[in-house]
Structure 1
Amino acid sequence: MLYAYTLLFIGAALMEVMGMIPQEMKSAGITIEALFSKYFGDEDMHFIYYHIRRTTLITILHCCIPLLYCLGLNWVEPDLSEFIPVELVWLLVIVSVVMALIGCALGYWWHRNKWANHPIAVSLASYNQSWRDVAANINLEYRRIEKFVNNLGCNTVIVTESWIIKTGVHTVSVGHQRSSHLVVSKTEEHHLSMEGPTTSQYLTILVNCVDSSSFSIRLNALQYGELKEKLQAPLREARGVIIRQSLGDQFIVAFEKQVEQNGYYDLPSSSPQPESCIGCLQVMSDVKLCKMCADDTDGECRQCFCRPMWCLSCMAKWFASRQDQRRPEEWLMGVAPCPMCRSQFCALDVLRVRTSNNVQA
């Protein structure tokens, strides 16, 4: 019984300290964050103060783990002297009590001066202004919808307009985008299935901060493009690092290469000039569907009479979404309906639009 209790306790303690809580327990609300949510406050409204309280309480509770083990020992095996020497039992009790006292003292020290001694507050104070003003700025930006959030294991990476933040079990690292530069230092390949070649790539990115301590973040390569869109800080890749594109990104590149070989569609001078792409509203529409692959009566493709309304990237995404997702190797040879009139087209029917202004230039 004693050995079984010890093994179970050590396993549960390691899972808690390392943040490897099973999803079932999280769903059931059996976590420190869920149990003490009223004490921590609202993370969306007071992000910094939430994590100051969270890391403080978690540090204290983790320092009390050996003491909890000793209390459980007395319940599991009242007569420990039959299994463990008395001197060793007392040593274990003394060490456990000392660790618990150290955790409580550390929490008390951090709480003094209204949390000014907490490591998070000390880190924010390195920006040459009141740490509360910096915290207020981070809290304000965190409330906005336009931010990048990525959860991986026990760590969460958050990128707001001005800040790069990494939250862990015991720590929160913060870097200002204007005084930081990022380097993709390492990639890792993990097999998702033992029965097939499916793999997932993970990136380790170093965040080098001028005003505060540097730290590293880790994320799936599929979120790399989204991260870059939110970053204002420079981001480069270390020599030898190869970031594998997602399947969709690879197809867009192949689709665009095929379109570049198809030629151009010369827009008549009497036709209206292209407007913004109705798919993304970010760039001008620059492709036209024209049946080029066979005679008018041959094949599945049909002539499309819609005016240019889509950009090449959005058209590639539309085309990919209409293919058999189980056979990506056949996507480029497939057909898809026009987004507007539903006329069938293939990759050979997509032409770049060339206006009279382009020709003159």
Structure 2
Amino acid sequence: MTVYIFTVFYMLLSACIIYPPIEFVSAGITVKDIFSSWLGSENEFFIQYHIKRSIATLFVHSVLPFGYLLGLVLFGNIETARIFLGSDNPLWPTLAVCSLIGPIYAVYKVLCWSRNNWATHPIAESLAVYCNNNTRWISVASDINIEYRRIDKIVIDTNSVTRIVATDNWIIKISPYKLYVAHQSDTALIVNKSDTHVMSPTTRGEVQFVNIEVKPTRIGAQSFTIRLNALDFKDLQDKVSRPITVLENVTFHRTVLDRFIDTFKEEVAKNPYYETAQELEQCIGCMQTTSNVKLNRLCENVSEAVGPDACVACYCRPMWCIECIAKWFASRQNENATETWLSSKCTCPVCRAKFCLLDVCLVRTLSQ
């Protein structure tokens, strides 16, 4: 039984080492934290740091099978381990050899990469594509190092093992074993997919992701895909000098406000309509859409309207469209507490009557 418990424990531990959860990252139990003294400063020598980090990651991942076998002998039940790994069991030498293949291969690859000042390392090879006038990959690495030191770069953590870096001239995707590099001057960026995930079935919270295909036109450069939270899209868009093409069939919320407006519309659609026979005019907010919203107090009875936070009847005629009133509602909320926006209150832009989401009604015009 001890062997089975150890096996389950080691599998979970290995998964957390390969793809560390938030708890491991916070506790500093990651490859880059454990080897931080050897890796040096990422801010000073960005490329050299990640060459070392990829080597450390490869080595740690390669010794995981050997660590399991060693753990069985040290921490497993002696009798069970003897049956499972005894000299009479032909499975033992097979497992022993297989567990050593990974570390041996890792050492071999590191020795191969180290030749000619790491020129054959995957990161160096990806940089060599951008060499001009017989320069070496070191010169490209130096340019990237300089730009990474600048404070105006953006760094987006897409998950615990992948990051996106955008500097003045470069777009870089950091993965466990290599860097994907593209120079902005000859790169096309295309948003080709978006997907939405509900964080909890009992709440309105959801998260939306977009996939951006980065396609360098430089001969030999490798295309790659960036998957990031849709709310980080604008930060990336503002930093890169190239336009980001969004395919016609792809829609997503680029900001928190965009997501709130859509949710606001969905909730208002559940409220009763406000029926009127008067002619509707243009929205005084955008002057582009016919006004279609009336603030009609429905959330509580008149007798319950006590206290400074109670909603108040609004006697203004319909003057706003749903999108403008949603933007006004959002502008009056605490931007650091977006999760409370829908349950909060606001005041009418004209008469300052206090209202909540339940008081916002779409207008239905009665035929005369």
Taking the aligned partners of 1:234 and 1:327, their CA distance within structure 2 comes to 32
Dislocated runs of 4+, deviation >6 Å: 250-254, 315-318, 343-346
- In structure 2, the CA distance between the partners of 1:335 and 1:226, relative to structure 1 (3 Å rule), is farther
Greater shift after overlay, 70-79 or 187-196? Answer: 70-79
2:143 aligns to what? 137
- Provide the secondary structure at the position in 1 that maps to 2:253: coil
Backbone CA RMSD of aligned residues = 3.4
Taking the aligned partners of 2:43 and 2:213, their CA distance within structure 1 comes to 26
- Per-residue deviation, 1:30: 2.1
Taking the aligned partners of 2:165 and 2:328, their CA distance within structure 1 comes to 30
**1:50-103: CA deviations, max 9, x gaps?**
000000111022111111111112112444342467211110101111221111
- In structure 2, the CA distance between the partners of 1:34 and 1:146, relative to structure 1 (3 Å rule), is same
Taking the aligned partners of 2:124 and 2:169, their CA distance within structure 1 comes to 18
Contact map agreement 2:35 2:56 (CA 8 A) in 1:
no
Pick the aligned partner of 1:102 from 101, 105, 120.
105
Structure 2 residues not aligned, in runs of 5+: 265-282, 289-313, 317-323, 355-368
Give the letter for the 1:220 counterpart.
N
Taking the aligned partners of 1:336 and 1:177, their CA distance within structure 2 comes to 44
- Provide the secondary structure at the position in 2 that maps to 1:115: coil
Pick the aligned partner of 1:181 from 184, 188, 213.
188
Contact map agreement 1:63 1:99 (CA 8 A) in 2:
yes
Taking the aligned partners of 1:344 and 1:74, their CA distance within structure 2 comes to 75
1:234 aligns to what? 243
2:179 aligns to what? 172
Taking the aligned partners of 2:344 and 2:94, their CA distance within structure 1 comes to 68
TM-score by length of 2: 0.70
- In structure 2, the CA distance between the partners of 1:86 and 1:222, relative to structure 1 (3 Å rule), is same
Taking the aligned partners of 1:48 and 1:207, their CA distance within structure 2 comes to 20
2:197 aligns to what? 190
Contact map agreement 2:163 2:173 (CA 8 A) in 1:
yes
Taking the aligned partners of 1:203 and 1:25, their CA distance within structure 2 comes to 26
Greater shift after overlay, 319-328 or 208-217? Answer: 319-328
Taking the aligned partners of 1:173 and 1:194, their CA distance within structure 2 comes to 36
1:289 aligns to what? none
Contact map agreement 2:166 2:172 (CA 8 A) in 1:
yes
- In structure 2, the CA distance between the partners of 1:81 and 1:248, relative to structure 1 (3 Å rule), is same
1:359 aligns to what? none
- In structure 2, the CA distance between the partners of 1:258 and 1:198, relative to structure 1 (3 Å rule), is farther
Contact map agreement 2:233 2:254 (CA 8 A) in 1:
no
Give the letter for the 2:44 counterpart.
M
Structure 1 residues not aligned, in runs of 5+: 263-298, 302-311, 338-342, 347-361
Taking the aligned partners of 1:155 and 1:335, their CA distance within structure 2 comes to 45
Alignment of 1:269-280 (within 5 A): none
- In structure 2, the CA distance between the partners of 1:195 and 1:133, relative to structure 1 (3 Å rule), is same
- Per-residue deviation, 1:23: 2.4
Contact map agreement 1:248 1:317 (CA 8 A) in 2:
no
TM-score by length of 1: 0.71
- In structure 2, the CA distance between the partners of 1:239 and 1:25, relative to structure 1 (3 Å rule), is same
Taking the aligned partners of 1:147 and 1:87, their CA distance within structure 2 comes to 56
- Per-residue deviation, 1:300: 12
1:57 aligns to what? 56
Contact map agreement 1:158 1:166 (CA 8 A) in 2:
yes
- In structure 2, the CA distance between the partners of 1:98 and 1:158, relative to structure 1 (3 Å rule), is same
2:15 aligns to what? 14
- In structure 2, the CA distance between the partners of 1:99 and 1:152, relative to structure 1 (3 Å rule), is same
**1:250-283: CA deviations, max 9, x gaps?**
67999xx742339xxxxxxxxxxxxxxxxxxxxx
- In structure 2, the CA distance between the partners of 1:300 and 1:43, relative to structure 1 (3 Å rule), is farther
2:347 aligns to what? 334
- Give the paired residue count: 291
Q: Report percent identity of matched pairs.
A: 30
Taking the aligned partners of 2:231 and 2:157, their CA distance within structure 1 comes to 13
Pick the aligned partner of 1:93 from 68, 83, 96.
96
